[in-house]
A and B are shown apart, each in its own frame.
Chain A
């Protein structure tokens, strides 16, 4: 009799546990796998190279124009983002485009936090290489921001740093005290 009671109790516990698990009130302790969004600019080729889009200045009509380029695919998004920015600093290869970043500027570091902010740290030459005009500064700032946010879904805004520090502006106009979302037209 006692054995039957124990058996029934055990059965009730098992059925209850299964019911709770199926309704989602109880979850297993396994790792949560998030669906990874498709990276629009991040087509990875068989050769291990990755296609990226860079934002340069269109000569003549002063607007952004994209240039496609391939980078060696790294093992992490951060590594890919660094390589992409280094390509931006090198300047355009297509005719009709102008660079937006001073050639002498050097990317010192880049990291991405969990909120989607990419921190990009350049040397002082990013500032020193600009002439002091608002338009040039706008295109310098937003070519960095647009290039990173349009290639990497993990990045939604970009904080520009110079030698590890936040700066008010690059050349006296555009507010870089906080992380900026992309802006494609002004």
Chain B
């Protein structure tokens, strides 16, 4: 009896030990699952950028991924499967609408993530590669017909003396909007960006004048003047009261390979009686080394065969700095010319050329400036801004500044127009 009790006791003890061990295993498995749950996404970000001849889509991961290109774009779509990739919900849908790419969709297919890039009705040609630190998959999308045409062409790339490379405009993405520029036309295209718009009114004056309406009117007047006087192509980022995201405005300029970019704004300082005009150019360069290295990797397409990796990195860094310096110098010159013309013509306070990290100027592959034509918060200036003649005067002054910049730039790169444009 005692023996049988002892056997039962041992059996119960055994069961208890097994149960305890199972509980520990279950706890450990659960903890492991929870710890996986703290790092749920292996693909954390999808971003895109429009370049003059292609669109770049970048998938940022928290680790390296294998990927398979299921469709290469010949059908107008690109399908990419990222093996064992778990996409962040923020990557689900992106509206690109840049003329080459319409949208990008992300779906989870079991253990893999499927990225579908829908073209905007044209056949695409795809280049795909991986980068690390951080881990990225980069998809470059080109119009297929342009790629085919380019492959049959001889090298027709021209380099201006100022160092800017002018490529043949075959690869423009707009439908049927290929621009056949005469080769001697160096300063050909300007982008005018009336700030704000749509749901974003910008600054509002005391009597209700809205920045978005004033700058649109000035922009449209300026377009007319430039087309009539300087015979340049003018691209407007908006011609009506619509909201355009800031990044799209620079994209538009890059897509059209504009020679320079002018963003029009009206200033506001509600706590002071500030008056006058001021112009800004971009002061910020990619600040830390990592960001700069990343930008170099993604923004340059240099093939430096036979050069060591370390030397390549240094050379690209130098080239990047040179490019930035070049645009800073040109942008500052454009800002100064516009400011002087505004100050002289409007007889208002010239508040100087300033520099600041303005979003709309970042990423513009050309000289770019932001102009503040008046203070809407100053009742006198608000009243003047509401007058049509004053807005026309502002547009005239801007035109004079643009004409001077164009003439200087063309002289510098060796092009002399037969007859210099008379603006004033």
Task: Tell me the number of A-to-B contacts counted with CB atoms below 8 Å.
Answer: 90
Interface residue B369 (Cβ < 8 Å from any Cβ of A): no
Q: Which of B274, B291, B359, B376 interacts with A168 by CB under 8 Å?
A: B359
Say what secondary structure dominates the interface of chain A.
Answer: loop
State whether the Cβ of B272 lies closer than 8 Å to any Cβ in chain A.
yes
Min Cβ gap A58→B in Å is 9
Indicate if B46 sits at the interface (CB-CB under 8 A). Answer: no
With A136-B268, A183-B356 as contacts: A172 and B284 at CB distance below 8 Å = no
- How far does the alpha carbon of A177 sit from the alpha carbon of B280 in the complex, in Å? 19
In the docked arrangement, what's the CA distance between A62 and B201, Å?
A: 24
A103 to B298, CA, bound (A): 42
B272 touches A99 (CB 8 A): no
Task: Closest A residue to B287 by CB, please name it.
Answer: A181
In the bound complex, residues from chain B placing their C-beta under 8 Å from that of A183 are 283, 356-357
For residue A130, give the distance in angstroms from its CB to the closest CB of chain B.
9
* Chain A residues near B280 (CB-CB < 8 A): 134, 186
Is the Cβ of B267 less than 8 Å from the Cβ of A133?
yes
Complex Cα distance, B349 from A46, in Å, reads 49
With A132-B201, A132-B211 already in contact, the answer to whether A57 and B358 are too (CB < 8 A) is: no
Which chain B residues lie closer than 8 Å to A59 at the CB level? 271-272
> Is B354 interfacial (CB 8 A cutoff)?
yes
- A residues less than 8 Å from B267 (CB atoms): 133-135
Let me know if A110 is at the binding interface, CB within 8 A.
no
CB within 8 Å for A99 and B359 given contacts A131-B204, A134-B370, A134-B372? no
- On chain B, the residues within 8 Å of A134 by CB distance are 265, 267-268, 280, 356, 358, 370, 372
CB atoms of A132 and B357 under 8 A apart: no
- Chain B positions 234-276 with a Cβ under 8 Å from a chain A Cβ: 246, 265-272, 274
How far is A71 from B337 in the complex, measured between Cα atoms in Å?
47
From the candidates A60, A133, A157, A174, name the one contacting B203 in the complex (CB within 8 A). A133
Which residues of chain B are within 8 angstroms of A62 by Cβ–Cβ distance?
269, 272, 274, 351
Within A161-184, which residues are at the interface with B (CB < 8 Å)?
A: 168-169, 172-175, 177-178, 180-181, 183
Q: Which residues of A contact B (CB under 8 A)?
A: 57, 59-60, 62, 98-99, 131-136, 138, 157, 168-169, 172-175, 177-178, 180-181, 183, 186
Whether B195 is near chain A, meaning CB under 8 Å from some CB there, is yes
Q: What 3 A-B pairs are tightest by C-beta distance, nearest first? A: A133-B268, A175-B359, A132-B203
CA distance A138 to B271 in the complex (A): 14
Which of B267, B274, B356 counts the most chain A CB atoms within 10 A? B356
Listed A/B pairs (30) with beta-carbon separation below 8 Å: A59-B272, A62-B272, A62-B274, A62-B351, A131-B203, A131-B377, A132-B201, A132-B202, A132-B211, A133-B202, A133-B267, A133-B268, A133-B269, A134-B267, A134-B268, A134-B358, A134-B372, A136-B268, A136-B270, A157-B287, A169-B359, A172-B195, A172-B359, A173-B359, A174-B357, A175-B284, A175-B362, A177-B359, A178-B287, A183-B357
B361-383 vs A, CB cutoff 8 Å, 1 = contact: the mask equals 01000000010100111000000
Interface flags for B209-221 (1: CB within 8 Å of A; 0: not) read 0010000000000
Assembled-state Cα–Cα distance A99/B284 (Å)? 25
**Which A-chain residue is minimally distant from B263 (CB atoms)?**
A173
> Would you call A169 and B356 a contact (CB within 8 A)?
no
